Amino acid sequence: MASVVIDPRIPTSGMASRTPTLRGDIQALRAYAVAAVVLFHVWPGALTGGYIGVDVFFVISGYLITGQLVRLKERGALHLPSFWAARARRLLPAALLVLVVSIGLTLLFAPDTLKTQYLRSIIGSTAYVENWVLAWDAVDYLGADNAPPIAQHYWSLSVEEQFYILWPLVVILGMMWGARRRLTSVIVGLTITSGVYSVVATFATPSLAYFATPARVWEFGIGAVVALLPALSLGRRIRAVVWVASWIALLVSALAFNASTPFPGYAALLPIIAAGAVIAVGPDAPLRFAEIQNLRILQWVGDNSYGIYLWHWPLVVIAPAALGHELDLWENIILVTVTVLLAGLSKRFIEDPLRFGNLKSVRPRTILIGVSASMVIVVAAAWVPIATLAESASAQAKAAQSRIADPAACQGASVLLVNACVESRYTRPPIPADQLVPSLAGLFDDTDGAFACYNSDSSTAIDPCHIGSTKHDSTHIALTGDSHAAMLVPAIRDLAEKNNWSVDVYVGRGCVWSADPDPACETRQAGLNDALLTKDYDAIITTAWNQVGRTEAERALRSEQFAERWTAALDSGIRVIPVIDNPAVPRTSAECLSATKSFSFDTCAFAAGTALEQDPLALAASEVGIDAVDLRAAFCDAKGTCPMVAGSVVVYRDLHHITASFSHSLAPYLAEQISARLSRPIP
């Protein structure tokens, strides 16, 4: 969105003129783009495709930056440090100011469960890699359920900054053996390549495609091609038709696109071609349309679009937390008004003085060093509270671990598994939020080493790690599965030494131990099955995420795939001990957890309902004639009430993973059931 990096200025009276004027068409495009984004974020139902405003900014940036770089190169005046210093001087002061304010807003108002996540996004945004942070979270389901962070909108600024770093190199190389014609061919090639990748990736990995820089290069490329091609020589009527059709396409995109539109992909063609066409028509809109695009309000909004974009999202995110409720119509209007005022003030007192003042005469090297130092300071300002919160949460969890594991303390799983605890669950006094374990500020990090050997690449083999006994007479066990198996590691680690278990842990994302024919799982499945059947295990403990929403047929097929693998293990004399998965959590309960100050048994609780959908693991166990470990009674009572907090222990760290603290509380009950199955003959 940082396309405001350069004023779209053109001479007012030919090349001899030194008095620049703003291009009204580009300012109007900016105004439209930022208005679309803000309206989409404040009233998403009113403008379901408002996100295309970002794509319009990308086209504008491609046009302006390419034009500037080519002119500098042709004059022999393209000096990379000077170019990068100018971009830094223009963009970073306001961006860093908003990030500093966002740190303060986070510490003052953000729910404890989100503080660390928000601060991490600020660090990613300060380093201008927020798009890759979000891309990783989107494809990694350990982070896929994260709420939108306070600096999420910096993903587009990150893409632009990466563009500003790399694009001058493209221009230099493209013009090394020729003039504009050679560069045009290079950029057309990059644009087509990126466009094809964007279309393919949008269908293969849509979340990654949305944030990944390679899937967005073609949008800059369209603007760059417009900058390089000769000016259109069209009649007034044709220019009018192109201009009107382009603006209609932009409006249709914002109104008709929605969350289900495959994007960017081929759908992005409509807004980016339309934006490029508006720029190609030129600064003088045909007929009387110039009067519309040159309206003072549109020009002012376009001129302040960078600040409006920077300020609006932190306010959208933090206002409900600060006020304690979702905003109504008038409160949203006030929010937009405050956004515009802050944008105007930051431009007047931050952007313009640094852009047009004495700083222009400072050496580029000095500017880059100063900006880098400022970025380090902002990163440190965000990292210190992260480290403090993590240290406090870790200490609190460790201090409570022995108490959690004591069934008589009625903490964690014992709340629903010990009769005395069950009887007193509604009579116990409420637990203040600051006494929960883990602390809400450390909730997402409460894994206690569960993912120490977790393999996030499902296409590669899993290298196991060992926990527990090293004695020669130990019971040799394998634990295998996905992230839900990983969350059992804290409990099994507690049990392994005590019960003389030697446990090899095979955990990784997707491609769990089953006869799944997916070619992407072939490498892992072959290696995993071979290891489990040839290493002389006494038992294989296995579990997997029971995804909500699967059809009955899908569950039946999944159970058959499990049963096929288990039958081979049983035939080889190896016990198989499946562990039924925990319930899934409605988002409303997770949001309630982050906003509540004290907790009783049913605070933020949810009804079992579809959360306890038939688990394919249970179906497979029945099919092959073995008893699965079923600890779902630790999660929901006989009436189907599933608490978010059991005693003082928070049960879930997100929408389907349990906390390490709750995992520790499961240990004695897990030990009882696993030990019982180890003592039985193999069916």
User: Is a pLDDT exceeding 70 seen at residue 295?
Assistant: yes
Q: Average of pLDDT values for 210-236?
A: 90
Q: Whose CA is closest to 415, among 131, 78, 115, 645?
A: 645
% residues pLDDT > 90 (the chain): 67
The one-letter code for the residue type at 226 is V
Q: What is the mean pLDDT of the chain?
A: 89
Nearest to 587 by CA among 681, 517, 652, 495: 652
Tokens read off for 243:
């201009």
3-state helix, strand, coil in the chain (%, to 5): 65, 10, 30
Q: What is the mean pLDDT of residues 624-639?
A: 93
405-678: CATH number: 3.40.50.1110
Residue type, 680: R
- What's the token pair of residue 524? 């892992």
Type and span of the H or E element at 11: strand 9-11
* Type of residue at 370: G
The predicted pLDDT at position 45 comes to 87
Ranges for all domains in the chain classified under CATH 3.40.50.1110: 405-678
Report the alpha-carbon distance of residue 638 to residue 291 in Å, rounded.
Answer: 70
Confidence of residue 7 (pLDDT cuts 50, 70, 90): very low
Q: Is the four-CA dihedral 293, 297, 303, 306 of positive or negative sign? A: negative
- The answer to whether the CB of 140 falls within 8 A of the CB of 456 is yes
Does pLDDT of 11 surpass 50?
no
Contact 377, 122 (CB under 8 A): no
- pLDDT tens for residues 134-189? 888 764 434 445 678 999 999 999 999 999 999 999 999 988 876 788 899 999 99
327 confidence band (pLDDT: 50, 70, 90): very high
In one letter, which amino acid is 459? S
Tokens of 610: 């579809």
Give the integer Cα–Cα distance in Å for 130 and 537: 44
If pLDDT is split at 50, 70 and 90, which confidence band does 8 have? very low
Q: Is 271 helix (H, G, I), strand (E, B) or coil?
A: helix
- Calculate mean pLDDT across residues 456-484: 91
CA–CA gap between residue 100 and residue 381 (Å, rounded)? 8
Provide the sign of the torsion angle of the four alpha carbons 399, 405, 410, 416, taken in this order: positive
pLDDT of residue 4: 37
How many Å apart are CA 526 and CA 142, to the nearest integer?
25
> What mean pLDDT comes out for the span 324-348?
95
Minimum mean pLDDT among 97-106, 195-204, 610-619, 639-648: which range?
610-619
Task: Label residue 608 by pLDDT band (50, 70, 90).
Answer: confident
**394 vs 522: CA distance, rounded Å:** 38
* 134, amino acid identity: L
Residue with the two structure tokens 């009204």: 24
At a CB cut-off of 8 Å and minimum separation 6, what does 301 contact? 30, 31, 34, 35, 308
Tally of CB atoms within 10 A around 467: 21
Please list the residues that pair with 652 across neighbouring strands: 658
* In 347-406, alpha helices (H): 352-356, 364-404
122-131, 397-406, 479-488, 559-568 — which is least confidently predicted? Answer: 397-406
Give the model's confidence band at 6: pLDDT under 50 very low, under 70 low, under 90 confident, else very high: very low
Which helix (H) or strand (E) is 154 found in, with range?
helix 154-174
- Retrieve residue 527's tokens: 């290696």
Per-residue buried b or exposed e for 393-419, using 16+ beta carbons within 10 Å of the residue's own CB: bbebbeebbebbbebebbbbbbbbbbe
Contact status, residue 642 vs residue 649, Cβ threshold 8 Å: no
Pairing between β-strand 20-22 and β-strand 575-578 as defined by DSSP bridges: unpaired
Please tell me the predicted confidence (pLDDT) of residue 391: 86
Residue 641 in this model has a pLDDT that exceeds 80: yes
Beta bridge partners of 649: 437, 646
Note the Cα 239 to chain centre separation in Å: 42
Place of tokens 């006030």: 334
pLDDT number for residue 393: 83
Record the pTM.
Answer: 0.83
**Helix/strand/coil for 172:** helix
How far apart, in whole angstroms, are the C-alpha atoms of residue 94 and residue 471? 61
Q: For position 178, what pLDDT does the model report?
A: 67
DSSP-based three-state secondary structure for 196: helix
Q: Which two tokens stand for residue 62?
A: 């491609």
Residue bearing tokens 């374990």? 437
**Position 602 pLDDT exceeds 70:** yes
Residue with tokens 């603290």: 661
**Residue 578 phi/psi, 5° resolution?**
-75, 145
User: Going by DSSP bridges, is the β-strand pair 475-481/539-543 parallel, antiparallel, or unpaired?
Assistant: parallel
The span from the CA of 528 to the CA of 525, in Å, is 5
pLDDT score of 189:
95
pLDDT confidence bin for 1, thresholds 50/70/90: low
